[in-house]
A and B are shown apart, each in its own frame.
Chain A
């Protein structure tokens, strides 16, 4: 797997998706929580300075009524002198907006209207540098066209708000990053585990029942699942092993007496003259032993294929089908049957070469049996989108549609077939081998004749 694919794998893994969803939810939570704190604190700070300014405005409005202009100017000067600009801000201007008293250099240009609250920026010297401070103020008219501005430097409260806002953004970003990072980490961890599990599962499906899913130290659902599946595999392995043992002992118990029969008959035959009447009897015996042996072989192979414990290897299906066609070509020619074949190159599957070879051979044996001289047999290997497909067609009598299911069953020889020799297990073996390879066996009408298709899944 290359890096990019791996990364995409992490992105589409379910733990990563869950992490994304949760980090977004947590971020929303952080925004809501910190936002609420931000607004509450802002309100308290804003409220307290606003109250201060309101009180000062109220006081000055009262003073202006009782004091002369010069006294009032002095009062303003007094108040603004012992105040740093960062604190209270005062400015009294004449009708031409020229400053008369106060600690502000000029009447702010913004907010020319008479709205109650205005907010503006003021450059404040800090040694060599100047800093821009935010000022919140109220304006009100004085008698004689003079105007008054009373305000307060709100830079500190702005600073607090800024810090809070930065904290809020940082908290949200951190939550997202942690969620994302955690998601990727968990995704990779689970993907690694799931990848290991699926690799082993593939091996198991290929017939290696001794394999077990990896179990990690950590206690998580995947581990629990892996452990339970392993338990199940133990059981399956026991059962198949039991079946193999039964098969092996059945094979042994049948082959051993057959072998005795064969060797005894052969030993007796060795001492009989060509013309001896006993010779015929003994030859009949060995012929029957041969027949029993081929039936036994077929039954055992069917049983083996059905237990699924046959070892798999990489099989070049194209080479195999071509070689079977080549094996059967002379015999069809000799019988006056035309054998046509079209074998696509590059079809590969996992499976048992020997069992596949025998299945194809059985199909050709059958086709030859039922195709009269002058007939045709066609063998195709096609690379279909779903996987390779092997097709064997003949123009013999075929199998009626209602009997095709039956023909695949064990020991079924249809009436037509009784006239020709054979164990009747040929198609059963083909069916078992097809199943072993996860393929589909389809019998159809070749119009006229029988068409047998083995549809493999692509690997």
Chain B
């Protein structure tokens, strides 16, 4: 992917660019909002990571200008502000995801992958049937089967599985799950997500030889055919 980083903090910018290049992305960097706007308008981008507070042109204003000129690539906003309302203003300005500093690189990478996938799929999100190996989920009938055998899930487990299947093959963090499935934006002190995942794992993997729901150490979970 061709990714643009607009970040005024040099240390963060360098580490981010290096990490993204290491996993094979093409990276351009801009140190202020104006430079970011010029670059974003002149090159074909797959994704942009924009810091919220930037010199010369504010991050939100930058995203708004991009959207106003018809640029549709996904934008991840990084913020060093307080949160709650800031997230909403960030997304309203045209951002697709919002991450507060300090962040784990694994969290950022997982979110970038999810955003890129969303861009690829386009309207594909509306697909009623999701399939991974012998696991099938029908959003209309709310029926889940594995190897033709029906699996009973609670409403929440169904939502959780649907989220994981839509991100199959990618790493999904606990925060992403809490945001995507429960619409909560805070970190619980208790390992609530892990327990929900282990229940889901019981339901879909227990009676089958090949596990599909994997734990990714230090990052989160992944639903995939590969180990």
Chain A residues with a Cβ under 8 A of chain B: 247-248, 251-252, 255-256, 258-264, 266-267, 270, 286, 289, 293-294, 297, 300-301, 303-304, 309-311, 323, 326-328, 330-331, 334, 352, 354-355, 357-358, 361-362, 364-365, 368-369, 421-422, 426
The answer to whether B84 touches A354 (Cβ under 8 A) is yes
Expressed in whole angstroms, the minimum distance between the Cβ of B213 and any Cβ of chain A is 15
Asked whether A260 lies within 8 Å of B190 as measured between CB atoms, the reply is: no
Which residue of A is nearest B155, CB measured?
Answer: A326
A252, B80: Cβ atoms under 8 Å? yes
In the complex, how many angstroms separate the beta carbon of A320 from the nearest chain B beta carbon? 10
Q: Which residue in A252, A255, A266, A368 is a CB contact (below 8 Å) of B104? A: A266
Interface residues of B in 164-220 (CB under 8 A from A): 182, 184-192, 195-196, 199
Complex interface: chain B residues within 8 A of A256 (CB): 9, 12, 80, 101
Query: Across the interface, do B81 and A293 meet the contact criterion of CB distance under 8 Å?
Result: no
The smallest C-beta distance from A434 to any residue of chain B, in angstroms, reads 16
Bound Cα distance from A284 to B191, whole angstroms:
20
Given known A-B contacts A259-B101, A326-B156, A357-B184, A301 and B82 have beta carbons under 8 A apart? yes
Ranked 5 nearest A-B pairs via Cβ: A255-B80, A263-B15, A259-B102, A259-B101, A365-B189
Task: Give the distance to chain A from B181, nearest Cβ to Cβ, in Å.
Answer: 9
Can you list 10 pairs linking A and B with CB atoms under 8 Å apart?
A251-B80, A259-B102, A260-B11, A262-B103, A263-B11, A263-B12, A266-B15, A270-B19, A328-B190, A365-B189
CB < 8 Å: which of A262, A286, A310, A364 contacts B84? A310
How long is the Cα–Cα vector from A358 to B178 in the complex, in angstroms?
12
Q: Is B16 an interface residue (CB 8 A)?
A: yes
Contact between A267 and B19, CB atoms less than 8 A apart: yes
Check A263/B192 contact, CB under 8 A, given A255-B100, A330-B199.
Answer: no
Candidates B12, B82, B188; contact of A303 at CB < 8 Å = B82
In chain B, what residue has the closest Cβ to A298?
B186
Q: Which residue of the partner chain B has the closest CB to A361?
A: B188
Please give the distance in Å from A302's CB to the nearest CB on chain B.
Answer: 10
**Shortest Cβ gap from A266 to chain B (Å):** 5
> Are B15 and A264 interface neighbours, CB within 8 A?
yes
Q: Which of B15, B53, B83, B104 has the most CB of A within 10 A?
A: B15
Bound-state Cα–Cα, A2 to B16, Å = 61
Q: B226 interface residue, CB < 8 Å from A?
A: no
A310 touches B85 (CB 8 A): yes
Residue B18 is within 8 A (CB to CB) of chain A in the complex: yes
Shortest Cβ gap from B203 to chain A (Å): 12
For A355, list chain B residues within 8 Å (CB). 84
**B88 to A, closest residue via Cβ:** A311
Whole-angstrom distance between the alpha carbons of A248 and B58 in the complex?
A: 14
User: Closest CB-CB distance, A162 to chain B, in whole Å?
Assistant: 77
Given A260-B11, A311-B88, A330-B192, A251:B103 Cβ within 8 A: no
Q: Are B102 and A422 in contact (CB under 8 A)?
A: no
B1 at interface, CB cutoff 8 A: no
Q: How far is the CA of A303 from the CA of B82 in the complex (A)?
A: 9
Q: Given A326-B156, A330-B195, A331-B191, does the pair A357, B186 have CB atoms closer than 8 Å?
A: yes
Cβ of B105 < 8 Å from any Cβ of A? yes
In the complex, A294 Cα to B18 Cα: how many Å? 27
- 15 new A-B contacts, CB < 8 A, other than A270-B22, A300-B82, are A248-B82, A256-B80, A259-B12, A261-B102, A263-B12, A266-B105, A267-B19, A297-B186, A304-B85, A310-B85, A327-B182, A327-B188, A327-B192, A365-B189, A368-B190
Which residue on chain A has the smallest CB distance to residue B187? A294
Interfacial chain A residues near B186, Cβ < 8 Å? 297, 354, 357-358, 361
> A300 to chain B: which residues have CB within 8 Å?
82-83
Cβ contacts under 8 Å, B102 to chain A: 255, 258-259, 261-263, 289, 293
Chain A nearest CB, measured from B114 CB (Å): 20
